[in-house]
């Protein structure tokens, strides 16, 4: 029914309706943030409302349990302990930051960076007052899915961290929305800010023999049917909605940035495989 109504509405009107809906949601987010009181000292950060999670496009599943799951991976695969200094690239609404706050202790330092001003406003309002060592920074970087009006390019971005300063860097469900030149720039930045013994946890959609077979069999969440130059997208209109890399290309990009994969890659369930660790493919990397 919805599709039939859409089909008879002229395209310019549909675009106008989409813009109006987006502006209304943005307004609701800003109203909600403006009206929120400072959190009580000693309380727990409030979880973001579902509409905000959906509006930003954080993904499905239980927000709290996915965050805790990733803190477990950071502890087990990247040795993130009490007192660690970490960078969360594309931190979103603090899904990882909140459970990590209990894990890092007051000696640890956390920096979350993102391109969504609403996401960073949420984190600053709900997390930093309770955990002052958790800081958040926004950059107005363009991304067709997450910040279509952004004025800067990800390809020239410098992370706000000193060389070799960090124990761990992670980017969860972020390179799944970025083009090759952007990923290459971020990998170089990650290599720059990490200590020689540090590790990164990165997630991707990886195309290899198994995932492409499962895509052909119709078992995958995304088909990644469109080649958009060095990567594949599931959405031709907004390629950044979901981007995948062929495994040899990804390995080459990592090697070019001076990074070694800590084997094995922990493949995800996104393509319908039965034996998986998480939803996306998880790659642990360290400096060569």
Ligand X SMILES: C[S@@+](CC[C@H](N)C(=O)[O-])C[C@H]1O[C@@H](n2cnc3c(N)ncnc32)[C@H](O)[C@@H]1O
Q: How far apart are CB 173 and ligand X at their closest, in Å?
A: 4
Q: Which residue is nearest to ligand X (CB)?
A: 92
Q: Is 192 in the site for ligand X (CB under 6 A)?
A: no
Smallest distance from ligand X to CB 213, Å: 26
Question: What whole-number distance in Å separates Cα of residue 112 and Cα of residue 110?
Answer: 7
Looking at 141-149, 159-167, 224-232, 261-269, which segment touches ligand X (CB under 6 A)? 141-149
Kindly indicate which of the ranges 77-85, 86-94, 191-199, 220-228 contains the residues binding ligand X, using the contact rule CB under 6 A.
Answer: 86-94
From residue 46 to residue 85, the character string flagging contacts with ligand X as x (rule: CB under 6 A) and all else as - is ----------xxxx--------------------------
Reference 104, options 125, 65, 78, 122; nearest CA is: 78
State in angstroms the smallest separation of the CB of 13 from ligand X: 28
**Among residues 143, 167, 211, 233, the one that binds ligand X under rule CB under 6 A:** 143
Decide: residue 274, CB within 10 A, 0-12 exposed, 13-18 middle, 19+ buried. exposed
Could you say which of 90, 99, 268, 279 contacts ligand X (CB under 6 A)? Answer: 90
* Nearer of residues 145 and 261 to ligand X, judged by Cβ: 145
Q: Is 114 among the residues that bind ligand X (CB under 6 A)?
A: yes
- The Cα 126–Cα 103 span in angstroms is 18
Q: Is 177 in the site for ligand X (CB under 6 A)?
A: yes
**In the chain, what is the greatest distance between 2 CA atoms, to the nearest angstrom?**
59
Among the listed residues 287, 284, 286, 264, the one whose alpha carbon sits nearest the alpha carbon of residue 276: 264
Which one, 60 or 83, has the nearer CB to ligand X?
Answer: 60
Q: Which of 115, 127, 282, 283 binds ligand X (CB under 6 A)?
A: 115
Whether 225 and 242 have beta carbons less than 8 Å apart is answered as no
202 is a site residue for ligand X (CB under 6 A): no
CB of 88 to ligand X, least distance (A): 7
Task: Give me the residues that bind ligand X (CB under 6 A), please.
Answer: 56-59, 89-92, 95-96, 113-116, 119, 141, 143, 146, 154, 172-174, 177-178, 182
């Amino acid at each position: 029914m919805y599709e039939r109504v859409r089909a008879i509405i002229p395209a310019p009107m549909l675009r106008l309706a989409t813009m109006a809906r987006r502006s209304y949601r943005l307004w609701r987010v800003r109203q909600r943030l403006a009206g929120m009181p400072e959190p009580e000292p000693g309380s727990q950060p409030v979880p973001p409302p579902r509409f905000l999670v959906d509006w930003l496009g954080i993904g499905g599943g239980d927000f709290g349990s996915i965050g805790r799951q990733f803190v477990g991976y950071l502890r087990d695969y990247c040795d993130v302990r009490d007192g660690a200094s970490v960078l969360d690239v594309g931190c979103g609404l603090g899904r990882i930051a909140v459970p990590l706050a209990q894990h890092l202790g007051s000696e640890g330092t956390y920096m979350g960076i993102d391109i969504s001003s609403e996401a960073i406003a949420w984190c600053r309002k709900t997390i930093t007052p309770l955990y002052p060592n958790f800081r958040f920074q926004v950059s107005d970087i363009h991304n067709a899915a997450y910040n279509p009006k952004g004025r800067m390019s990800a390809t020239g971005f410098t992370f706000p961290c000193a060389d070799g300063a960090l124990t761990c860097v992670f980017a969860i469900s972020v390179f799944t929305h970025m083009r090759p030149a952007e990923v290459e720039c971020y990998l170089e930045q990650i290599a720059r800010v990490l200590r020689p013994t540090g590790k990164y946890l990165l997630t991707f959609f990886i195309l290899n023999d198994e995932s492409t077979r499962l895509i052909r069999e119709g078992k995958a969440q995304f088909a990644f049917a469109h080649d958009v130059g060095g990567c594949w997208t599931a959405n031709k209109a907004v390629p950044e909605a979901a981007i995948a890399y062929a495994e040899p290309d990804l390995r080459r990009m990592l090697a070019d940035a001076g990074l070694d994969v800590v084997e094995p890659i922990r493949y995800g369930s996104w393509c319908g495989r039965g034996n998986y660790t998480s939803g996306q493919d998880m790659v642990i990397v360290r400096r060569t």
